[in-house]
Structure 1
């Protein structure tokens, strides 16, 4: 680990996910809250959720890099800094208690908000990315950002984590995401523009792939990061035990069945913005209950959530019936666009 001499190299595990990849189910199987030598948040991570909410719900992604004001930069950089500070406070507690620190974060949540602009906006986007970067002085006074690092966190900081990844076939993940977002929209929590925007933002595996490839470039990473495919998680439980072996988690507390009342407690895995007002907090909790509905209603792993074979064209025909022509076309494009990244990461996955 490349960390300042006065900071002991902590044992830290970062599970990188995207929505609807069965990541909450994975945490339930790992029994993450009852891992004896691990410290995490009540929600198993989601430290960067407040920054994600600020960036996506306040219109920053729609702004061209040259249109960001100094106040915009200060607000967004401050949100990311606050999230990182909160994570580091948990890290300090973990060191004091001699435990591993664990967090699960969606890859897009700590990617630079200028990443999608960099290909078309050139220098303006690169300069904006630099201004949004986070300060983590404990990890060195001269921190670097390699070309493949598209996050707001330095190479030195990222190297303080062991990373792991969870993926799922886009033809399952993306319609599941859209279905859940439509339910949230029906509750009045987002409008049609928000539905489309949230769908496009989250239906993407390239952020995960970029971070995986960044890991492979690091000279002090002895083995490739472990990758779990949701299909294997559901159909081949042995991969979970291998994951524990590779990450230092305790296999003895892993579970594949649970009491339904206990599953209801998993709603605490849902993200929430601690700075939100009461009405917003309620909205977030109700949205989370929609996103977690399958897990909350379960007593264990549901095998039919992992069909053996997927024909994307046949699935697209179903989406047309369920969602309409326009949404089905959007979903099909998102699936095909994501397939190269999915197949690449799938080829790296843990197998039984």
Structure 2
């Protein structure tokens, strides 16, 4: 069976509209941003966003989610024979602020991939998440002795860094053995569009839905995406498109569908959101070709009750971030391509919408991420 497709992206990349296309397919099991559960809420969380709000973590319903429970869910999703399609924010798998990665404790003894049951250092093991020396252990991060978040702790701090070691060269907290199980693709968007869109989700009126009232530049997500993309290319998780059968990759067929990437590694597949919005059918045809799916034009329309209900249920946990995608009924080419703007015009637009101080923050964040975006853009798929 073809490996699960993992569309790795950053926030506000039009990724939910992209995801809705694949939610129309009954032959796919679509999973919406599963790893945020562990990144923000669970005992292995790496984000500090909810450290002062334990009630919100518990109310989310994901306060017990570990990275292993999420991988187990993905394994279950594929158990009925459907190919799994995952859309997720890549920085959920990478420590914030370029901290050195360490393998998530619940995944520490993973050797052979999804479904591994041998957890000698796992969730309830001696060194596991709830173990003696683990994330919630007696002597470590959330311990009751001298742990950072313990009774005698000195401040609020997410459980990262974990009491584990990282894998050489791997920028994520996921063992290579698990990463190899996925067909990785990438979706990007110009920071001039994504960053102010993200900022808007942290101010009134959307903050009343999202629950986020502070903008974190560290959540832009481009740095993590680029570092993982480079790791994937350099180590064979993905291969350059001009690589051929001599590298052990051949494009076979199964039931009339091209099964690219099922041998040794998928080809590089990067989608730029502007290209997608200008030519959705052309880009999606090329994307489907790359990941081994047949393309149907009716994938671009979800104006029916079943598809709408499925989307509302999937997007419920991230209120305020996906309303446009929930309310949409199809994906059509935009009538006019995005007009080119000077940097001065962008600054003036942000100042008018959000005020001078916010405009400065947005500008700084955009500038910090442009090089990574432009680097990834050179790999963008063309129809």
TM-score tier after normalising by the smaller chain length:
0.7 to 0.9
- Whole-angstrom distance in 1 between the partners of 2:354 and 2:277: 27
- 2:85 match: secondary structure: strand
- Whole-angstrom distance in 1 between the partners of 2:370 and 2:336: 19
CA 39–186 in structure 1, closer or farther in 2 if over 3 Å, else same: closer
Pairs within 5 Å for 1:1-352? 11-29=3-21, 31-36=22-27, 38-40=28-30, 44-54=31-41, 55=45, 56=47, 57-59=49-51, 79-91=66-78, 93-94=79-80, 97=81, 99-112=82-95, 115-116=96-97, 118=99, 129-130=102-103, 132=105, 134-135=107-108, 136-139=110-113, 146-183=167-204, 186-187=207-208, 190=211, 192=213, 195-197=214-216, 200-219=217-236, 221-223=238-240, 224-236=267-279, 237-252=281-296, 254-259=298-303, 264-265=308-309, 266-270=311-315, 272=317, 284=318, 287=319, 290-301=320-331, 303=334, 307-352=338-383
- Whole-angstrom distance in 2 between the partners of 1:305 and 1:151: 39
- Give 1 or 2: higher helix fraction: 1
- 2:92 match: secondary structure: helix
- Cα-to-partner distance string for 1:293-346 (whole Å, 9 max, x where unaligned): 222333333616951424333112111111111111111111111111111111
- 2:198 match: secondary structure: helix
- 1:320 match: secondary structure: helix
CA shift for structure 1 position 130: 4.4
- Whole-angstrom distance in 2 between the partners of 1:321 and 1:49: 32
CA contact (8 A) 1:235 1:306 kept: yes
CA 229–32 in structure 1, closer or farther in 2 if over 3 Å, else same: same
What TM-score, normalized to structure 1? 0.72
What TM-score, normalized to structure 2? 0.67
CA contact (8 A) 1:260 1:298 kept: no
Number of paired residues? 290
CA contact (8 A) 2:111 2:177 kept: no
Structure possessing the higher radius of gyration over alpha carbons: 2
- Whole-angstrom distance in 1 between the partners of 2:202 and 2:10: 14
Q: Gaps (5+ residues) in structure 1?
A: 1-8, 61-74, 119-124, 273-283
- Whole-angstrom distance in 1 between the partners of 2:329 and 2:209: 30
- Cα-to-partner distance string for 1:242-275 (whole Å, 9 max, x where unaligned): 1001101220255334427667433233163xxx
- Whole-angstrom distance in 2 between the partners of 1:220 and 1:332: 34
